[in-house]
Amino acid sequence: MKGTYYLGDQQFEIREIPNRELGPDEVLVKVAACGVCGTDVHIYHGSKGSAEVAPPVILGHEFSGIVEKIGSAVDKVAVGDHVAIDPNIYCGKCHFCGIGKKQMCANLIGIGVNRDGGFAEYCYVPESQCFKLDKNIPLAYGAMVEPLACCLHGIDRLNMRQGDTVCVIGGGAIGLMMVQLARLSGASVVVLSEPVQHRREIGLSLGADYVVDPINESLPQRLHELLGTEGADVIIECVGNLTATGQSFEAAKRGASILLFSVPKAGSVYPLSLEDVFQKELTILGSMINPDTHERAAQLINSGRIELKPLITHCYPIEQLEDAIMMQMSSESIKVIVGN
């Protein structure tokens, strides 16, 4: 069993994974597909993930595979099942777990962050983290369950109303899933702001009513032309830079809700107009990982209600993980998958 270990300082090394006995509640998963996430890119450049990284560790927290072996007490899954993995393991004992906000868990363990993850041939995971996929669903789609689960948590936080107008900023994999979720949530109009043409075209094919090129067009002006108001009811920011943050506030009408969903660069600071927050009565939200949404994400993918094929643009073997990370950073890609 081989895995691509992250050693720190942008260094990887393929090593044998130590073979060991399964715990009673553990599952050995033969990894089929693992997505490269923005968090992996941040870790590669020296930032922390959802939890502190302690190299050497196998990264990769968006993955799916086939159950190879099960522990003696496992009854949720069986050998041969196709599964997607929820990487976030909560302690269940700290203050935040106790008040129903386990995504803030003080002792969070992240598979693929501070415990060996999916950029490998096999991975040991607790049974509790496995969610079944229909066997007719491509396993590459299973690698999208985790990011979709995170998107669902963000959508839940927004408390969208049917008939709301929505502006999604950023047409990467997350933004294109948010376009679809906004439509499923009852948005009357969905506008995608994205500078890359082929992403705008995919956005239209996935349910966006309109697209805007924010490099060559004024987003506030276009929203006024398209919606007849000074902005949208709901803004979902999916880029992670200060330019996109600024566009989120420019695109917000009075009374709007703004979800700053993306993972920003560590230390990022945005100069916020408090007068605008007051006078426009803005609601500003963050969204952290995926508490209790993984099952729903798997069900959505099993149902075929979310279109994923156009999002998966590049696939690499685990031996080319660094190349996969570089490609994920490129505007040429949408979602990069590492597979076996």
| Cα–Cα distance, 315 to 102 (Å, whole number) | 33
In 3D space, the residue among 49, 39, 60 whose CA is nearest the CA of residue 112 turns out to be 60
| Cα–Cα distance, 285 to 258 (Å, whole number) | 6
| Cα–Cα distance, 78 to 116 (Å, whole number) | 22
Catalytic residue among 4, 42, 61, 294: 42
Beta-bridge partners for 65: 31, 83
Catalytic residue among 4, 39, 165, 293: 39
In 3D space, the residue among 149, 148, 205 whose CA is nearest the CA of residue 177 turns out to be 148
Q: What is the DSSP string of 203-238?
A: HHHTT-SEEE-TTTS-HHHHHHHHHSSSSEEEEEE-
**If you compute the radius of gyration of the chain from its CA atoms, what whole number of angstroms results?**
20
| Cα–Cα distance, 315 to 24 (Å, whole number) | 34
| Cα–Cα distance, 137 to 302 (Å, whole number) | 7
Residue 91 phi/psi, 5-degree rounding, is: -75, -30
Check if 283 is active-site: no
Instruction: List own/partner pairs for 200-203 with CB under 8 A and 24 or more apart.
Output: 200/171, 202/171, 202/176, 202/310, 202/311, 202/334, 203/168, 203/171, 203/175, 203/176, 203/179
Check if 39 is active-site: yes
| Cα–Cα distance, 285 to 228 (Å, whole number) | 25
Q: Are strands 26-35 and 122-126 parallel, antiparallel or unpaired?
A: antiparallel
Residue 300 burial (10 A CB sphere; 0-12, 13-18, 19+): buried
Catalytically active residues, by annotation: 39, 42
